[in-house]
Amino acid sequence: MESMGLVDGPGNRTLFFLQGCPLRCAYCHNPDAITTSGGKEITPEDILKTARRYRTYHGEEGGITFSGGEPLLQGEFLYEALEKLKNDGFNTCVDTSGIGNPKYYSKIMPLIDVMLLDVKAFDEESFKDICRGDLSVYLKFIRDLEKYGFQGMIWARHVMVPGLTDNKESMEKFVEILEPVKNRVERIEILPYHTAGVKKYEELKIPYRLEGVEPMDKDKAKELEIYTNKYFTESLHKERVEEAKKKQKKAKNILQNERDLKEKDKALIEEIKSLPLLKGISSEKMEEVLKEIHIIKKNTNDYVFQTDDEASYMYLILKGQVKIFYNTIDGKEQIFYIYRDQDFVGGLNLLEHESYLYNGQALTDCEIISIPREVFEEYILTNPESLKIILKMSFERIRWAEDLIQRLSTSNASMKTAGLLLRLKNSIGVETEEGIKLELSLNREELGNYSGLTRETVTRKLGEFKELGYIDLIGNKIILIKDLEALEDFVF
Ligand code: SF4
């Protein structure tokens, strides 16, 4: 144990060294900690007691670090100790070579705040040579870290031995190895090889494999550390630029049918001005709005936006219908809403500056106005009438979502089908002499996705309702509601 460590994790730390390591690093300066025998036996409770004693030294950032040996080799003990420490509010850090006992990884990883990740070497041969380990096991460890529930930060470390990895090419390989966890890497450290542990080898009568190798020049190690950190951040930056370009390209594709309003669009301009959401905007401001908005034409099945797209526009539907849905983990499509003329989508995402959680796809050929975020914030959010409409529609959507949850959680297929028909009545129903006409842009499968039923059940239920005289089916695309009360009885 070491009561006050300053380099093994953030802030001031209390260190515990766990006995035993499956590797045999040529430069290991703790050869006495490699075997599983030796050391002093303590319990997780002892760890907590000691940790509490030194808590005042830790300050805001510091905490407890487990090093070794290889702490992940004593999985059960480490898990119990970490759990106690986390429950007591300690910051936790584990120094690992990535070769431990996987049995406890999924219990341990969620409890680690900072991982000191040793990267011994960067190719199979050197890995075996320097630490007698298997690089593929190490790479799997890195790849699976998040799968095991690791949510912390990583300090990646490499011991630099002169003549082995003291060059830029090796440092670039170092960065490549970190690829699967790059978003968690907070810093990269180069530890210059030193010969302080050689004496222990003599005492233990173990041959020292790096006999005659000079200590690593500290300045050169620092230089390469700076190079590696720069190379790492540059490659992250490059990746982000690439991603941004891809997104831009996608956005261009999405907006490929977009056009500005022209003088000749007089009728269209009047239609836009009279849209309830834009109605209260003064004519002066409206001129500005008209300059900034665009008209997008979408064909049936085209996407208006997709999950994870950055929300930069509010979409206001002029003509047509758009379904809002997401794909569940079992691959099914769950439809939440069907929007049509004068409905808007995306307002909340603009307010929250967040990406879309769902997909928006045209159910019919559509004409949609795209309103850029800046226009939304400057002209719509500041207009009381628009705000009232946004609020009203938001409440309606909350009510609808509650209704949807109720419909999906009920096991009664009749109730689900009746609820679906009533919802469709509210959004697309047209009163006729024969009844309320629903002209569908959804096929039976989509009706099922909208109601939480299978296609077969929807078809069967609609057939039953027809037989009971509640509805009439005209081809595949038209439903006529003939007995509204009967349907309402199922739901209310
Ligand atoms: S991983 Fe650490 S403790 Fe194990 S042999 Fe290498 S340097 Fe020594």
- Confidence at residue 204, expressed as pLDDT on a 0 to 100 scale: 87
Which residue's CA is the nearest one to ligand 1's atom 8?
28
Ligand 1 centre to CA of 26 (Å) is: 9
User: Is 19's C-beta closer than 6 angstroms to any atom of ligand 1?
Assistant: no
Does residue 392 sit in the same domain as residue 417? no
Residue 358 has pLDDT above 70, yes or no: yes
Q: Which domain holds residue 452?
A: 410-491
User: Is 69's C-beta closer than 6 angstroms to any atom of ligand 1?
Assistant: yes
pLDDT digits (tens, 9 = 90+) for 8-58: 998 899 999 999 999 999 999 888 888 888 889 999 999 999 999 999 999
Q: What percent of the chain has pLDDT over 70?
A: 91
- Of the candidates 397, 408, 492, which has an alpha carbon nearest to the alpha carbon of residue 449? 408
- Of the candidates 18, 31, 22, 20, which has an alpha carbon nearest to the alpha carbon of residue 203? 31
Does residue 177 sit in the same domain as residue 274? no
- Which of residues 352, 379, 403 is at a domain's end? 403
d(CA 113, CA 93): 6
First to last CA, the chain: 68
pLDDT digits (tens, 9 = 90+) for 159-183: 999 999 999 999 999 999 999 998 8
- Confidence at residue 143, expressed as pLDDT on a 0 to 100 scale: 95
- Give a yes or no: residue 351 inside a domain: yes
Ligand 1 centre to CA of 206 (Å) is: 15
Does residue 231 sit in the same domain as residue 306? no
Average pLDDT, the chain: 86
- Give a yes or no: residue 303 inside a domain: yes
- Which of residues 353, 369, 403 is at a domain's end? 403
Does residue 150 sit in the same domain as residue 31? yes
pLDDT digits (tens, 9 = 90+) for 297-331: 899 989 888 887 888 888 999 889 898 887 765 55
Does residue 221 sit in the same domain as residue 329? no
- Give a yes or no: residue 434 inside a domain: yes
- Of the candidates 323, 320, 348, which has an alpha carbon nearest to the alpha carbon of residue 334? 323
- Which of residues 246, 273, 300 is at a domain's end? 246
Does residue 67 sit in the same domain as residue 114? yes
Residue 188 has pLDDT above 70, yes or no: yes
Does residue 119 sit in the same domain as residue 167? yes
Residue 112 has pLDDT above 60, yes or no: yes
- Confidence at residue 114, expressed as pLDDT on a 0 to 100 scale: 93
- Give a yes or no: residue 81 inside a domain: yes
User: Is 23's C-beta closer than 6 angstroms to any atom of ligand 1?
Assistant: yes
User: Is 97's C-beta closer than 6 angstroms to any atom of ligand 1?
Assistant: yes
Query: What's the total number of domains in the chain?
Result: 3
Region 444-452 average pLDDT: 79
Does residue 214 sit in the same domain as residue 351? no
Higher pLDDT, 222 or 389: 222
Region 427-433 average pLDDT: 88
- Confidence at residue 281, expressed as pLDDT on a 0 to 100 scale: 85
- Give a yes or no: residue 136 inside a domain: yes
CATH number of the CATH domain containing 444: 1.10.10.10
CATH number of the CATH domain containing 119: 3.20.20.70
Q: Which of 147-156, 202-211, 316-325, 334-343 has the lowest mean pLDDT?
A: 334-343
Does residue 334 sit in the same domain as residue 443? no
User: Is 200's C-beta closer than 6 angstroms to any atom of ligand 1?
Assistant: no
User: Is 34's C-beta closer than 6 angstroms to any atom of ligand 1?
Assistant: yes
d(CA 279, CA 458): 40
d(CA 435, CA 478): 12
CATH number of the CATH domain containing 398: 2.60.120.10
Higher pLDDT, 212 or 328: 212
**Which ligand 1 atom minimizes the distance to the CA of 30?**
8
- Confidence at residue 414, expressed as pLDDT on a 0 to 100 scale: 77
Q: What percent of the chain has pLDDT over 90?
A: 41
Which residue's CA is the nearest one to ligand 1's atom 3?
69
- Confidence at residue 97, expressed as pLDDT on a 0 to 100 scale: 96
pLDDT digits (tens, 9 = 90+) for 49-82: 999 999 999 987 899 999 989 999 999 999 999 9
Instruction: Give the residue, out of 15, 21, 73, with the most ligand 1 atoms within 8 A of its beta carbon, to mutate for a pocket test.
Output: 21
Ligand 1 centre to CA of 236 (Å) is: 30
Ligand 1 centre to CA of 152 (Å) is: 23
Q: What are phi and psi of 201, to 5 degrees?
A: -65, -40
Q: What is the band of 409 on the pLDDT scale with cuts at 50, 70, 90?
A: low
**Which ligand 1 atom minimizes the distance to the CA of 97?**
1
Does residue 456 sit in the same domain as residue 310? no
- Give a yes or no: residue 254 inside a domain: no
The secondary structure of 25-86 as a DSSP string is: -TT-S-GGGSSSS-S----HHHHHHHHHHTHHHHTTT-EEEEEES-GGGSHHHHHHHHHHHH
- Give a yes or no: residue 255 inside a domain: no
Residue 250 has pLDDT above 60, yes or no: no
Does residue 37 sit in the same domain as residue 72? yes
- Report residue 181 CA to chain centroid gap: 14
- Give a yes or no: residue 251 inside a domain: no
Does residue 172 sit in the same domain as residue 270? no
- Confidence at residue 55, expressed as pLDDT on a 0 to 100 scale: 93
Residue 396 has pLDDT above 60, yes or no: yes
d(CA 152, CA 114): 5
